[in-house]
Amino acid sequence: MNFPANTRTDILRCTFQSDPWHITSTASHRLTTLSNIRIAVVRAWVENAIVSAYVFLAFDQEYFYRGYPALDVFLLDQNGDEVVNITFRETVAECGRTVPRSYRQNFDFQYYDLIESTVLVMGAATWESC
């Protein structure tokens, strides 16, 4: 999205207690690794009018098996209650190498001021050998 030159942004940057994530199977096989995980929640302004709010998720991913899990980002208020839930769908699995991934999704900007924290969840998937 291209914003006019006089656009201002508010950005909430989220850090993770655990990075990298090593995702393993119940049989202890390493399936994938997510590293350098970044989430930013952004609100864009133009002359006192909010024009957009979105979540940006980026990470580096190394695949050992092929799988296509959904990634859910939950934006929470000060009580830990869900304000916004955004689901990103994985579409590509490239085995044997580390691949940078990034996703962006808009949400209703009226919720921005309520957001205090984020939670990232990887959903279930069927994993296949590369």
Q: Percentage of residues in the chain with pLDDT exceeding 90?
A: 22
Answer yes or no: are the C-beta atoms of 115 and 84 closer than 8 Å.
Answer: yes
Under the banding of pLDDT at 50, 70 and 90, the label for residue 79 is very high
Backbone phi and psi for residue 114, each to the nearest 5 degrees, phi listed first = -85, -15
Task: List, in order, residues 6 or more apart from 17 with CB less than 8 Å away.
Answer: none
**Residue 46 confidence (pLDDT):** 77
Convert the pLDDT of each residue in 20-63 to its tens digit.
Answer: 888 888 888 888 888 999 899 988 877 777 678 999 999 998 88
- What kind and span of H or E run contains 130? none
CA distances 128 to 29, 65, 68, 98, Å, are 11, 5, 10, 17
Read off the pTM: 0.81
d(CA 34, CA 100): 10
**Residue 85 confidence (pLDDT):** 93
d(CA 68, CA 88): 11
Could you give the domains of the chain? 7-123 (2.60.40)
Mean pLDDT of the chain: 84
Under the banding of pLDDT at 50, 70 and 90, the label for residue 6 is low
